[in-house]
Structures are given as structure tokens and as C-alpha cells.
Amino acid sequence: MGLTITNQLKRPEPQALASAVEALAARFGNRLITSQAVRDQHAHTTTWLPSQPPDAVVMAQETADIQDVVRICARHSVPVIAFGTGTSLEGQVNAPAGGVCIDLRDMNKVLEVHAEDLDCVIQPGVTRKALNEYLRDQGLFFPIDPGADASLGGMASTRASGTNAVRYGTMRDNVLALKVVRGDGEIITTGTRAKKSSAGYDLTHLFVGAEGTLGIISELTIKLRGIPETIAAAACSFETVRGACQATILAIQTGIPVARIELLNAAQVRACNSYSKLSLPETPLLLLEFHGSENEVAEQSKNFGEIAKECGGGEFSWTTRPEDRTKLWQARHDAYWSVKALRPGAGVVATDVCVPISRLADCVTETEEDLKRLNLLSPIVGHVGDGNFHCSLVCDIDNPDEMARGEDFMHRLVERAQAMGGTCTGEHGIGQGKQKYLRAELGPEALDAMRALKQALDPQNIFNPGKILPAL
């Protein structure tokens, strides 16, 4: 059992598919793979959505490969699905209508680094950890950290963000320009390396978050930052989620440039205590990071400490020593594994919503009450500076009753967030799992506009069909 997918998509005609695969085999030799095992790997959804493998996988090595796959597939009306690391969470790499997956992992070159301009040009398969490794010697880093070591092409496509978006923004704020392979195999250049531009429609930000449904990103120009002189970590427990949220609101209102501010609810702290042998008070916990000069982070930490106290926070500790920072943040680093360990063998389904920060305490508290009522287990971790939080629902996939309650919980979570002026997804994207919420969130006119854009840029509907837009 899994969440229902309503898209009834037409698969390509068998003869057309066979012709496309034949042409791809002639062009790519053993870089065209049709083994079941490899196809299955490329539909791995890391969620409870059913896997829908593509019919074939091409290992791309350069832009011309992407162009040729697209041309061949377009000729035969066969879907094309881009694949980075497969860490997306809403079925973005599934192939509900079959088709050809382009695996971009080997397109992992950093093409140019412009240290003075704080930007670089990369291929889409570069992962964020590999990029930061590459940049470290130059004193530079790329700040977006969604947790997984995702590819930058995939991060752009899902408009990823993560723990330090509160300071550095999301992928939307950090992509300067893209090259995108369109349906006829030609390449759209969406922008320049200039830090800002008002030259025409913002194509860059149309492709960021489009989940590969409008074309395939073949190159990215992204913004970099200087590695901060000093990093401080801090932690503070609160009696209530409301206290933790109030402290966050005040910190942001007063302009403390927190680099990360993460909320772990009581259930998550309990899981971490158990898994990581910690002895944290089992109440909501805020973990923070400050970036700046030594004086700056000292002042920021001190100011936040005062705010925390005002808001009913307990002992406030902060440190700049790397080993102590790691210790303070250990609960956060182990959060995922601590949830996995809660019930060995059960599934963990990750979902996220985002609300105006003034409603965050309400939203988290009501969500906790709902979990209790439904007798479900789901620790909560929040990128609380953005009003964004994640539920990690522990669920026995083979227990239909529990799965039904889980599905009910997910629906109610989204409805709650939307009723509070929020969004059904802050950073995971729509993919397949959240299509049914888009209309309630933005209205039919926005959906009409999105459909018109899809039709305009992908009239053949070959790019990742069945994603984002619900079936009519």
C-alpha cells in the first residue's frame, strides 16, 4: 500500500519505445542500460510512494549526451527523466509513464570558479559535499544544505534549501543562471554571471523548482560565500514549542543574522537521547549556529542568550571550538538515525510544510496533538527561522490500519499549514506526492497558469510527465 497516485498517464507505444531504445543503444553503447536492477535503482523514491522504474537509463557524460537523449526521445515521444542522486522525497524521479532516465552523476565537473565574483559554474551532477570539498582551499563554500549529499542539478530542480536557508536563502536565491536542454535538444541560456539583472522574464527561476518538467538542466552558475572566520554553535532547551518559536521570532526581528536555527520537539529529543546516549531535557530544543568574526558571533550568541531567557529558555550554552560544536549539535546530526532506530524494521516517511513564523508554534503544537490522537509516532525537526518543519512518520508499511492513519495525518498536516497561510511543501517539492494539494493552496487560476507554462515549454509533454501538475 502507498499513497494513491491519481495520474493515469499513457505509456509510449511499444514500437516507439523500442525504436528509441535502439537508437540510444547505437549512440551510447553500454552507457545505455536496461537491466531491471539498474532501472529499479533509478526509481528509488526514499518514501512510501510506489517505485515506477524507467524503461532504460543513459549514463550521461557531457551536455551533448543530454541533447542526444532528448532528441531521440522527442522523436519517438518517449518521456525523459533527469536523475541526480535519487534523494528527492516526493517521487520526483519516478517514471509513471516509463521512458528514459538520464543519470547525471558522471557530469560532476566544476567548470569555473570565480573567487572574486563569488560564483562558480558546474555540471548538474556535482554534489554539494564534493563542491564544498573542491572549494575549501579557496576559502569559499556553497551554503545550501538539505541534509542529503544531493546533486546541485537536483537541488535546483526541487528548489531545495535546508538548515541554513534562514541566513543564505534557498536554491532560488543562489542560482544565478542555468543552461537547460529543451525539447528539440537545443540549449536555453537563462542568465549571465551578473549578480542582478532586469533583462526580460526570469527564466532562471522558472526552471528552478520545475522538477525537470520543463527541460533538463545541463549547467548551473551558482553563488558562493566566503567561509566565515568564526562559527559558533549554541543550544537552549525550552519548556514549550511556543517559547522556542517566540525566541526565534525575536531573534530575527532584531536582526541577529543566525546561520542556522533548528527546533527539535520533545519527541525528537527523546529519540536522540535514546540513540545518541545524551541526557538533554526532554522538552523542545533549539540548536543554533552563528557565522561571522569572533566578535560578531560572540555578540550574536550573547544577544540570543538574552532573548532565550526572556522566552523561558533554560541553560544557554555556546561555543566556537569545533569539537564542542559537534557535541552540541550531535542530536541534530543523528536525528534521522535516531528516528530510524525507534522501531527497527518500520518505515520512516519524511514530509514537510512551511507556515508564516507567527503561526509556527500553533502549527507544531496542533500537529503534536493530532499525532497523539491518531496514536502515531512522528518526531518533528524544524528549520524554524523559515517557519518550515519536517515530520518523520514512523509507520509499519505492512499495517494497513496504521498506514491509513498515517495518510490521514499527512492530509491534515497539509490542510493545517495551508489554513495558516502556509504551503504544502517548503523544500521537498510537489513531485507526485503533493499534487493534490496545489489547487487548494494557490487556486485554479495558478494551476491554469502552470499548465499553460508547461504546454508552452514542453508541448510534447516528454519532460518528467506526471509530476507537479495533477491530472485534469
Give the C-alpha separation, 162 to 470, whole Å. 26
Give the residue with the Cβ less far from a copy of itself, 296 or 334: 296
Alpha-carbon distance values, 41 to 97, 129, 157, 212 (Å): 17, 22, 20, 18
Give the residue with the Cβ less far from a copy of itself, 66 or 403: 66
Q: How far is the CB of 150 from a copy of itself (least distance, A)?
A: 13
Give the residue with the Cβ less far from a copy of itself, 384 or 395: 384
Q: How far is the CB of 108 from a copy of itself (least distance, A)?
A: 24
If 0-12 CB within 10 Å is exposed, 13-18 middle and 19+ buried, where does residue 373 land? exposed
Q: How far is the CB of 416 from a copy of itself (least distance, A)?
A: 13
- Give the closest residue to 250 by CA, choosing from 303, 328, 329: 303
Counted residue by residue, the chain has a size of 472
Q: Count CB neighbours of 125 within 10 A.
A: 23
Give the residue with the Cβ less far from a copy of itself, 14 or 255: 255
Give the C-alpha separation, 129 to 336, whole Å. 18
What SS3 string covers 304-359? HHHHHHHCCEEEEEEECCHHHHHHHCHHHHCHHHHHHCCCCCCEEEEEEEECCHHH
Q: How far is the CB of 355 from a copy of itself (least distance, A)?
A: 6
Q: How far is the CB of 316 from a copy of itself (least distance, A)?
A: 18
Q: How far is the CB of 88 from a copy of itself (least distance, A)?
A: 10
Burial code of 276-305, b = ≥16 C-beta within 10 A, e = fewer? beeebebbbbbbbbbbbeeebbbebbebbb
Please report where in the chains the cell 557531457 appears, as a residue: 62
Give the residue with the Cβ less far from a copy of itself, 13 or 448: 448
- Which DSSP category does 115 fall into? T
Give the residue with the Cβ less far from a copy of itself, 386 or 407: 386
Across 24-74, where does the E strand assignment appear? 32-33, 56-59
Q: How far is the CB of 275 from a copy of itself (least distance, A)?
A: 29
Q: How far is the CB of 175 from a copy of itself (least distance, A)?
A: 11
Bridge partners, residue 282, by sequence: none
Copy the grid coordinates of residue 202.
526570469
Q: Which long-range contacts (CB under 8 A, 24 or more apart) does 374-378 make?
A: 374/405, 374/408, 374/409, 375/405, 376/402, 376/405, 376/406, 376/409, 377/267, 377/342, 377/343, 378/267, 378/409
The 3-state DSSP class for residue 58 equals: strand
Answer whether 208's CB lies under 8 Å from 257's CB: no
Q: Count CB neighbours of 342 within 10 A.
A: 18
Give the residue with the Cβ less far from a copy of itself, 94 or 338: 94
Q: How far is the CB of 207 from a copy of itself (least distance, A)?
A: 9
Evaluated on CA atoms 282, 280, 351, 202, the torsion sign reads: positive
Give the residue with the Cβ less far from a copy of itself, 225 or 412: 225
Q: How far is the CB of 148 from a copy of itself (least distance, A)?
A: 15
Q: How far is the CB of 390 from a copy of itself (least distance, A)?
A: 13
Answer whether 214's CB lies under 8 Å from 463's CB: yes
Answer whether 62's CB lies under 8 Å from 28's CB: no
Q: How far is the CB of 307 from a copy of itself (least distance, A)?
A: 13
Give the residue with the Cβ less far from a copy of itself, 295 or 326: 295
Give the residue with the Cβ less far from a copy of itself, 180 or 234: 180
Give the C-alpha separation, 300 to 285, whole Å. 18
Which residues are CB-contacts of 393 (< 8 A; sequence separation ≥ 6)? 348, 349, 350, 351, 376, 377, 378, 406, 409, 410
Give the residue with the Cβ less far from a copy of itself, 254 or 317: 254
Give the residue with the Cβ less far from a copy of itself, 356 or 400: 356
